[in-house]
Amino acid sequence: MSTRIVRAAEMIREAGCAVVLTGAGMSVASGIPDFRSPGGLWSKYDPDQVASISALHRTPDIVWKFLDEAAQMVGKAEPNPAHHALADMEKRGFLKAVITQNIDGLHQRAGSSNVIEFHGNCSRFYCMKCAGDFPLQKIVDRGKGLKPPRCEECGGLVRPDLVFFGERIPERALSDAGFYANGADLVIIAGTSGEVAPANLIPSQVKSAGGRLIEINKNGSAYTSICDLSLDGPVEDILPAIAEELNNSES
């Protein structure tokens, strides 16, 4: 493994524009199980009933019961060494952007500044009627009973700034990701199988333009066959080792 860590650091140093694509595997060590895994939220809830845009309109009480449970789980989570390693790499100029399918905001809390969120962020809220922001603290403070929160200005239903099932990926995220899909010459695929659209387009596009791919995942990814380097293991071990190697070889 150690030669692969050294090789990964070399490839990152050689890159003109490196980006990382992250998914659920990043946050498992922070106590957020993959929604799709056994024991994950989707084994307990039907996403159509609790996380679709039609359910939010039809049965906001049921959706908000689920959102509160998810918010508690995410609220307790802290960034893990994988998040910190990526933030460190960005600060040192080795990484240009984090493109993520995660909604937990842990990349930003670890200190990453250029984070492109395909699926939104479950710690930001706004009114569905007047579009005004609604602070997270008020969601938390409304306490037990957990009625869906209402806008103080207009009484509209408040929702998280998440992409629900049945909604489109935000335009801004798509155009920002497109910018890096065109400009990056190295993609690090970390903690994701990479099968979810539109995230899945980035590695193939960079690779076909002559760029390189590194994957860091426990069970490989959809790109194993076209990756230049595969590191098989938990991101919370491997990413800090790569960041350390980059720091050592810098001096």
Reference 217, options 237, 244, 241, 189; nearest CA is: 189
Does 119 participate in catalysis according to the annotation?
A: yes
Q: At what angle do helices 235-250 and 81-91 cross, to 10 degrees?
A: 30
Identify the H or E element spanning 243: helix 235-250
The count of chain residues that interact with Zn ion, using the rule CB under 5 A, is: 8
Of 65 and 129, which CB lies nearer to Zn ion in the complex structure?
129
Helix (H, G, I), strand (E, B) or coil at 125: strand
Smallest gap, in angstroms, from Cβ of residue 135 to Zn ion?
A: 13
Smallest gap, in angstroms, from Cβ of residue 126 to Zn ion?
A: 8
Pick from 97, 98, 127, 187 the residue near Zn ion by CB under 5 A: 127
Of 154 and 226, which CB lies nearer to Zn ion in the complex structure?
154
C-alpha separations of 235 from 135, 179, 242 in Å: 32, 25, 10
Of 7 and 129, which CB lies nearer to Zn ion in the complex structure?
129
Smallest gap, in angstroms, from Cβ of residue 211 to Zn ion?
A: 44
The reply on whether position 158 binds Zn ion by CB under 5 A is no
Of 132 and 178, which CB lies nearer to Zn ion in the complex structure?
132
Stretch that binds Zn ion, among 63-71, 81-89, 153-161, 230-238 (CB under 5 A): 153-161
Q: CA 188 from chain center: how many Å?
A: 13
C-alpha separations of 170 from 43, 56, 234 in Å: 27, 18, 30
The reply on whether position 156 binds Zn ion by CB under 5 A is yes
CA distance 46 to 100: 23
Smallest gap, in angstroms, from Cβ of residue 129 to Zn ion?
A: 5
Smallest gap, in angstroms, from Cβ of residue 41 to Zn ion?
A: 28
The reply on whether position 129 binds Zn ion by CB under 5 A is yes
Of 159 and 212, which CB lies nearer to Zn ion in the complex structure?
159
Give the strands of the sheet with 212-217, arranged side by side: 115-117, 97-100, 18-22, 186-190, 212-217, 229-232
Reference 236, options 66, 80, 122; nearest CA is: 80
The reply on whether position 226 binds Zn ion by CB under 5 A is no
* Residues designated catalytic: 119
What residue ranges bind Zn ion (CB under 5 A)? 127, 129-130, 132, 151, 153-154, 156
